[in-house]
Amino acid sequence: MKFRVCNRPDIGKWNPVGVPHLIISISTPGDEEAEVRLNEFTVDVLRLSFNDLDQEPGPAFRKVYGEPVLFDEKLAVQIRDFVQANVGRSIKQIVVHCDAGQSRSPAVAAALAKKLNGSDDEFWEPSVMYAQRRYSPNRLVYRVLLDILMGWRRASQLDAG
């Protein structure tokens, strides 16, 4: 499976033709959803909204931005179920975007790549084009989603809690 990670402006311009794909669109709570260009090769779109945080923020964050929406198991299950429901539909690419395309979306893509391709190296290692890592995946998003994808936490455990 191929993965494409992009930012909010790029997802509005991106329009692949001939490539059956899924789109996972991530926005920040309180922001409008991103404009996503759809075509006949867009199999499905999942829209999520959560903050780019890897831990509970302090009072200063809450004072400025209000109550945070942290990535959690329920959001991870939504992603897992979305991908599982569509993976048998000749999907060739999964496109994941967030505001900057640097933290939340590469974390989601990395966890999915680890599960589907057996490797997430492209999201953690330096790129030939860059002197440093290209992405800085949100570790909370990555860890929680990977836990769900690898079956370490089952949906039934979530329902009980």
Euclidean distance between CA atoms 100 and 97, whole angstroms: 8
Q: What is the pLDDT of residue 130?
A: 57
Per-residue pLDDT tens for 17-36? 789 999 999 999 999 999 88
Q: What is the pLDDT of residue 78?
A: 98
* CATH entry, 2-160, from 2.30.30.100, 3.90.190.10, 3.40.50.261, 3.40.1190.10: 3.90.190.10
Q: What is the pLDDT of residue 81?
A: 97
Start-to-end Cα distance in the chain = 33
Per-residue pLDDT tens for 134-144? 788 999 999 99
pTM comes to 0.88
Largest CA distance in the chain: 48
Q: What is the pLDDT of residue 105?
A: 97
Q: What are phi and psi of 67, to 5 degrees?
A: -70, 130
Q: What is the pLDDT of residue 14?
A: 79
Helix (H) or strand (E) segment spanning residue 93: strand 93-97
Within the chain, which residues score under 70 in pLDDT? 126-133, 153-161
Q: What is the pLDDT of residue 87?
A: 85
